[in-house]
Amino acid sequence: MHNEEVLVRIAKGLVYTESEAAFQAPLRRTEQIFEYNLTPPSKPERRRSLLTEILGSVGERTVLLPPFHAGFGSNVHIGDDFFGNVNLTFVDDVEIRIGDGVMIAPSVTLTTTGHPVHPARRADFGRFSEPIVIEDKVWIGSNVVVLPGVRIGYGSVIGAGSVVSRSIPPMTIALGTPCRVVRHITDEDLTTRTAGSEIG
């Protein structure tokens, strides 16, 4: 199968294998990610330089605390005023797009890739990939997993420990496994410190 045909299959969310996708290996930024994770806090300029080498695009005033992990790195696009806490994992076989003003708590996984249920279809690491979009001003709590094809809408909050398997509308609080909307964010939240006991 030609590389162009594989790319079409990937874009359609169809199953493809490790061997078929091997031509994409030069897009992996594993060496730079390794170096970033070992760069001391006293060298913020070096960290920033490495981040611009690793990511597909990165905005201003971006904080990404090491260690972080990515399959590629080059398929991740981050906007301005981003804060990513430790142990953020990007499974970025296809694009992950993160808007402005997004905050992500420790030990979050954003995975664009899943695998077929039947073991015969997982031969040669058979998989499918769908992009993830996180819109502006989203806050994602600790230990959240965001699955392939999910879009999290503007301003939303994802409660700690959630597994987000479906897209979440803007300005809502969502939590649980599977993640579900529990309420809308309103002007009343301007006067409270937290979203309430439901996100703990």
CB-CB contact of 72 with 110 (8 Å): no
Active-site amino acid positions: 115
Residue 37 CA to residue 4 CA, distance in Å, equals 34
Spatial separation of the C-alpha atoms in residues 7 and 129, rounded to whole Å: 11
Whether 198 is covered by a domain: the verdict is no
Interatomic CA distance for residues 43 and 113, integer angstroms: 33
Residue 76 forms part of a structural domain: yes
Inside any domain, residue 196: no
Whether 136 and 151 have beta carbons less than 8 Å apart is answered as no
Q: Look up the CATH number of the domain holding residue 56.
A: 2.160.10.10
Closest CA to 123 of 18, 21, 22, 25: 18
pTM for the model stands at 0.93
96-98 and 76-78 strand pairing = parallel
Asked if the structure places residue 197 within a domain, the reply is no
List per-residue pLDDT tens for the chain, 200 residues long.
Answer: 689 999 999 999 999 999 999 999 999 999 999 999 999 999 999 999 999 999 999 999 999 999 999 999 999 999 999 999 999 999 999 999 999 999 999 999 999 999 999 999 999 999 999 999 999 999 999 999 999 999 999 999 999 999 999 999 999 999 999 999 999 999 999 888 765 545 54
160, 96, 127: which is closest to 10 by C-alpha? 127
Query: Is 37 within the bounds of a domain?
Result: yes
Query: In the chain, how many domains are there?
Result: 1
Which amino acid type is present at position 107?
Answer: S
The pLDDT of residue 196 is 57
Q: Look at residue 199 and tell me if it is in a domain.
A: no
Measure the CA–CA gap between 46 and 176, rounded to whole angstroms. 38
Distances from the Cα of 140 to the Cα of 41, 57, 116, angstroms: 24, 21, 27
pLDDT for position 195: 59
The verdict on residue 38 lying in a domain is yes
In a domain, 21, yes or no: yes
Range of the domain at 179: 3-187
